[in-house]
């Protein structure tokens, strides 16, 4: 009997040990899975901060280098070249606090103190918060994360660039993400500095490699203030799919002339809302004004009526009192006269 108990106990202990080992292994496997998921999530987060496609950037850099080598050879063999076209010295300051880019030129002493141009921009999570960088490269069209494209992209450092608001298709200026365009001037990008096409193109054409870019934050937008960008989401598709500042001859904004009630829906709604608001305010103001006037009028009227009433009552009271007093006095005088007459007559009789 004891042997059976020992055997059964041993089997139970063995089963418990096996179960314990299985549970420990499952727990460790789960921990590894959690760690793997966290690693994947961290990788995804890091990728969201990388607004440009790194492989595409490296490919474009090689193409740019090859193009530059060809251009150098052409320039050396050509006398009438444009080698100095983009070499005017500029200094760029990005105020990510106010969402403004200001371009400075050199003064007579060679210092960058002359404000030349201000640009409204949108920065983001991975935008540098300080430091000075040198422009190393540029591309007319560059693929960004999410299979969208930046027009007139100028690299600042790593995967941080100046570029337009993203486009859905490479080389198609009629594929603008108009809902993102309306965010210009606010904190909206993944890290790059978004600009209007006009401003992105200006930097692309005028700021040579080596141009310095400084990042800082201040509530003051700078010496030239903060420009504004047109809100385009409420316009028809044929308009809002284009950047209004694009000088492309096919840009419908260049020939757009609003007629009649062709204002954007939000402008019409705002006008109606403002009209209704003004009517309500005016009505409320008039009501309050009338109430105040009526109250003042009634107060003055009541005061006048009360004063006149008091004067009349006082006059009546005084008149009555004086009349009664005079009548009493006269009676007393008559009585005295009568008494005197009686006395006098008595005296005569005597």
| The two three-digit tokens of residue 231, written as one number | 């809100």
Per-residue pLDDT at 318: 57
Distance between CA atoms of 253 and 211, rounded to whole angstroms? 32
Per-residue pLDDT at 14: 84
- pLDDT exceeds 50 at position 47: no
How many structural domains does the chain have?
A: 2
Q: pLDDT class for 42, splitting at 50, 70, 90?
A: very low
Task: Domain of residue 316: give its range.
Answer: 257-320
Q: pLDDT class for 80, splitting at 50, 70, 90?
A: very low
- What is the average per-residue pLDDT within 71-93? 53
Query: Is the residue at 168 inside a domain?
Result: yes
188-242 pLDDT tens trace: 999 999 999 999 999 999 999 999 999 999 999 999 999 999 999 999 999 999 9
User: Are 89 and 179 contained in the same domain?
Assistant: yes
With a CB cutoff of 8 Å and minimum separation 6, the contacts of 132 are 212, 213, 214, 215
Query: Is the residue at 188 inside a domain?
Result: yes
- pLDDT exceeds 60 at position 79: no
Question: 346 by DSSP, 3-state: which?
Answer: helix
User: Are 97 and 205 contained in the same domain?
Assistant: yes
- pLDDT exceeds 80 at position 53: no
Burial of residue 256 (number of CB atoms within 10 Å: 0-12, 13-18, 19+)? middle
The domain that holds 220 is classified in CATH as 2.40.440.10
Among 84-93, 104-113, 163-172, 317-326, the range scoring the smallest mean pLDDT is 317-326
Q: What average pLDDT is seen over the chain?
A: 77
User: Are 266 and 150 contained in the same domain?
Assistant: no
Distance between CA atoms of 58 and 50, rounded to whole angstroms? 14
User: Are 218 and 95 contained in the same domain?
Assistant: yes
Query: Is the residue at 133 inside a domain?
Result: yes
User: Are 152 and 286 contained in the same domain?
Assistant: no
Query: Is the residue at 207 inside a domain?
Result: yes
20-38 pLDDT tens trace: 888 777 666 666 665 555 5
User: Are 275 and 168 contained in the same domain?
Assistant: no
212-227 pLDDT tens trace: 999 999 999 999 999 9
User: Are 200 and 295 contained in the same domain?
Assistant: no
Distance between CA atoms of 65 and 59, rounded to whole angstroms? 10
Q: pLDDT class for 45, splitting at 50, 70, 90?
A: very low
Q: pLDDT class for 283, splitting at 50, 70, 90?
A: low
Percent of the chain residues topping a pLDDT of 70: 55
- What is the average per-residue pLDDT within 77-81? 40
Q: Name the residue with higher pLDDT: 310 or 151.
A: 151
> Quick check: 59 and 139 in contact, CB under 8 A?
no
- pLDDT exceeds 80 at position 48: no
User: Are 149 and 275 contained in the same domain?
Assistant: no
Q: How many C-beta atoms lie closer than 10 Å to residue 87's C-beta?
A: 13
Per-residue pLDDT at 267: 57
User: Are 153 and 291 contained in the same domain?
Assistant: no
114-153 pLDDT tens trace: 999 999 999 999 999 999 999 999 999 999 988 899 999 9
| The two three-digit tokens of residue 162, written as one number | 């100046």
Query: Is the residue at 342 inside a domain?
Result: no
- pLDDT exceeds 80 at position 338: no
User: Are 205 and 310 contained in the same domain?
Assistant: no
Per-residue pLDDT at 85: 40
Query: Is the residue at 345 inside a domain?
Result: no
Per-residue pLDDT at 127: 97
- pLDDT exceeds 80 at position 95: yes
- What is the average per-residue pLDDT within 241-256? 97
Per-residue pLDDT at 83: 35
User: Are 196 and 292 contained in the same domain?
Assistant: no
Query: Is the residue at 22 inside a domain?
Result: no
- pLDDT exceeds 90 at position 97: yes
Query: Is the residue at 8 inside a domain?
Result: no
- pLDDT exceeds 70 at position 293: no
Distance between CA atoms of 282 and 228, rounded to whole angstroms? 32
Distance between CA atoms of 159 and 133, rounded to whole angstroms? 13
User: Are 297 and 160 contained in the same domain?
Assistant: no
- pLDDT exceeds 90 at position 334: no
Distance between CA atoms of 140 and 266, rounded to whole angstroms? 34
């Amino acid at each position: 009997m004891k042997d059976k108990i020992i055997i059964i106990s041993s089997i139970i202990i063995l089963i418990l040990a096996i179960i314990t080992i299985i549970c420990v292994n499952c727990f460790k496997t789960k921990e590894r899975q959690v760690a793997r998921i966290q690693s994947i999530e961290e990788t995804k987060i890091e990728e969201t901060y990388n607004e440009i496609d790194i492989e595409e950037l490296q490919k474009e850099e090689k193409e740019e280098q090859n193009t530059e080598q060809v251009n150098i050879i052409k320039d050396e063999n050509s006398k009438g070249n444009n080698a100095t076209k983009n070499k005017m010295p500029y200094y760029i300051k990005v105020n990510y606090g106010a969402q403004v880019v200001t371009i400075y030129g050199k003064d007579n002493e060679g210092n960058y103190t002359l404000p030349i141009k201000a640009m409204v921009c949108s920065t983001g999570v991975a935008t540098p918060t300080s430091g000075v960088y040198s422009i190393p490269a540029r591309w007319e069209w560059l693929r960004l994360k999410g299979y969208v494209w930046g027009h007139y992209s100028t690299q600042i450092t790593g995967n941080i660039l100046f570029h337009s608001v993203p486009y859905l298709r490479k080389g198609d200026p009629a594929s603008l993400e108009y809902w993102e365009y309306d965010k210009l001037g606010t904190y909206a990008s993944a890290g790059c500095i978004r600009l209007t096409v006009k401003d992105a193109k200006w930097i692309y054409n005028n700021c040579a490699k080596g141009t310095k870019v400084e990042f800082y934050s201040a509530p003051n937008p700078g010496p030239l203030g903060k420009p504004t960008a047109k809100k385009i989401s409420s316009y028809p598709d044929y308009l809002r799919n284009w950047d209004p500042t694009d000088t492309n001859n096919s840009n419908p904004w260049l020939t757009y002339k609003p007629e009649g009630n062709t204002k954007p829906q939000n402008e019409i709604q705002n006008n109606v809302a403002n009209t209704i608001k003004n009517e309500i305010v005016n009505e409320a103001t008039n009501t309050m004004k009338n109430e105040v006037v009526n109250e003042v009028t009634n107060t003055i009227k009541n005061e006048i009526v009360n004063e006149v009433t008091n004067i009349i009552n006082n006059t009546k009271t005084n008149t009555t009192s004086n009349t009664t007093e005079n009548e009493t006095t006269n009676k007393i005088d008559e009585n005295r006269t009568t008494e005197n007459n009686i006395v006098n007559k008595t005296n005569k009789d005597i």
